[in-house]
Amino acid sequence: MGENWMIKTKGNRLNVTFDDVGTSHTFVAGSKAMGIELEGLTWLNAEIEFGDKTKAYGVVAISREDGGEHWATLVHLPNGGMAEQGSDDFLEKLGKTKDQVYGVRGYRYRYFPEYIRERDHHVDTETGWSGR
């Protein structure tokens, strides 16, 4: 049940261009380094677990101004590239059904570095996983 995409994607680089502010940032799958802060959102390296227990590396955007509201998720794909939650082809790029991704409880994420989780009421303070 569930694949481990982390093995296939560790070290992959994902260069994200933020057109609205005219900058870009490279995220590395498996890195626990700080991401980038833009317009009230902090974009962070993360681990993701889908509803079917598939594990993947990704990037999440959270607001540090309002208790950690989650605004975006990007997923490193095993064959390179990324899937962006909210895009029309999100499930297609993942090669999964809505049920496999979201399941009953939705997908979970855990982002890095850990100290940023201090004010996020969405994550378990011991494990760092969302959806507590």
Q: How many structural domains is the chain composed of?
A: 1
Residue 120 is predicted with a pLDDT of 80
- pLDDT level of residue 57 (50, 70, 90 thresholds): very high
Residue 23's pLDDT band (cuts 50, 70, 90): very high
Q: Would you state the pLDDT for residue 1?
A: 59
Is residue 76 in some structural domain? yes
Is 0.85 topped by the overall pTM? yes
Nearest to 60 by CA among 48, 39, 44, 76: 44
Question: Residue 101 domain-assigned?
Answer: yes
pLDDT band at 9 (very low <50, low <70, confident <90, very high): very high
Give me the domain span that covers residue 41.
5-119
Beta carbons within 8 Å of 79's beta carbon, 6+ residues apart: none
Mean pLDDT, residues 67-90: 92
Residue 125 within any structural domain of the chain:
no
Return the pLDDT at 61: 93
Is residue 129 domain-resident?
Answer: no
